[in-house]
Amino acid sequence: MPIGAEELAASLPQMNLELLASCRTFIVEELRSARRFLKRAGYPYPIDDTDFHLLNEHTTHGEVGGYLDAIARGENVGLLSEAGLPCVADPGGMITRIAQRRGIEVVPLVGPSSLMLALMASGLNGQSFAFNGYLPVDKSQRASTIRRLEERARRERQTQIFIEAPYRNNQLLEALCTVLQPNTMICVATDLTLPTQYIRSLTAVKWQKERAKVDLHKRNTVFLIGE
């Protein structure tokens, strides 16, 4: 599904929308938004005759065992993720893992990845990069993780990507400015694909001044550090 409220034509190839019609069963993160997406995407069957299985951070391994049963009957099963790519910083991986183990063909489709959009626009090294998920919440643990990632970014020229709970974004940027070496690059990529999109790469020392001008509070943001 799209990352934000953008038009489907801005983030999904037309083929994805056509392929929806080949599935009568979907594994989804949230029922309501999945139904809304299918309607918006022109899904040709009645939503009430469509099977949905929930897969989110609360789903247990035991629950998902039967989610692929329709495949044994020769049908396709669709995997839909909220805001971005299934399995990338997303719970969908539990089901592709089972599919791979059972020898079921998994067909990935092109779609929006906030991590890749941020990396593309950052100007930081895209020949080597790592996504690290969320940093620790505890202040001193977070500082030591930031130092460790900076060290790796420098030694291996590997851009380090991470995210934060949106209501802690401003604090994270402050911590980055405090902990990182003055000339380490920080890219802040906010509201990707939205009209308010903001993507800026500056050294840590320049962010010290710049960050007063940007409010990241409750805006989905990808952070990148590198050289």
If one asks whether residue 214 binds a copy of itself (CB under 8 A), the answer comes out as no
Residues 124-143 that bind a copy of itself (CB under 8 A): 124-133
Nearest-approach distance from CB 63 to a copy of itself, in angstroms: 17
Residue 106 is a binding residue for a copy of itself (CB under 8 A): yes
Our finding on whether 1 is near a copy of itself (CB under 8 A) is no
Q: CA dihedral in degrees (172, 174, 179, 181; nearest 10)?
A: 120
Collapsing DSSP states into helix, strand and coil, what is residue 69? helix
Retrieve residue 188's tokens. 């802040």
Identity of the residue numbered 170 = N
Going by C-alpha positions, the residue among 214, 227, 140 that lies closest to residue 181 is: 227
Report if residue 205 touches a copy of itself, rule: CB under 8 A.
no
Phi/psi of residue 65, nearest 5 degrees: -45, -40
Question: 């997303």: which residue's tokens?
Answer: 90
DSSP 54: E
Q: Identify whether the C-beta of residue 200 lies closer than 8 Å to the C-beta of residue 188.
A: yes
Give the nearer residue to a copy of itself in terms of CB position, either 99 or 143: 99
Residue 13 binds to a copy of itself (criterion: CB under 8 A): yes
Give me 16's structure tokens.
């994805």
By CB under 8 A, tell whether 168 contacts a copy of itself.
no
Residues numbered 34-93 forming contacts with a copy of itself, rule: CB under 8 A: 85-90, 92-93
Using the minimum distance from each CB to a copy of itself, give the nearer residue, 93 or 166. 93
The residue among 89 and 175 lying less far from a copy of itself, judged by its C-beta, is 89
Task: Kindly write down the DSSP assignment for every residue of 167-184, as one continuous string.
Answer: GGHHHHHHHHHHHS-TT-
Out of 145, 169, 190, 201, the only residue in the binding site for a copy of itself (CB under 8 A) is 201
Nearest to 168 by CA among 226, 93, 100, 218: 218
Cβ proximity to a copy of itself, 13 vs 47, nearer residue: 13
Give the 3-state secondary structure of residue 224: strand
Task: Output the smallest distance, CB 161 to a copy of itself, in A.
Answer: 10
Separation between Cα atoms, residue 35 and residue 41, nearest integer Å: 10
Compare residues 47 and 100 and give the one whose CB is closer to a copy of itself: 100
Among 118, 172, 216, 225, binds a copy of itself (CB under 8 A): 118
* C-beta of 117 vs 216, nearer to a copy of itself: 117
What is the binding site for a copy of itself (CB under 8 A)? Answer: 7, 9-15, 85-90, 92-93, 96-101, 105-108, 110-113, 116-133, 158, 187, 192-193, 197, 199-201
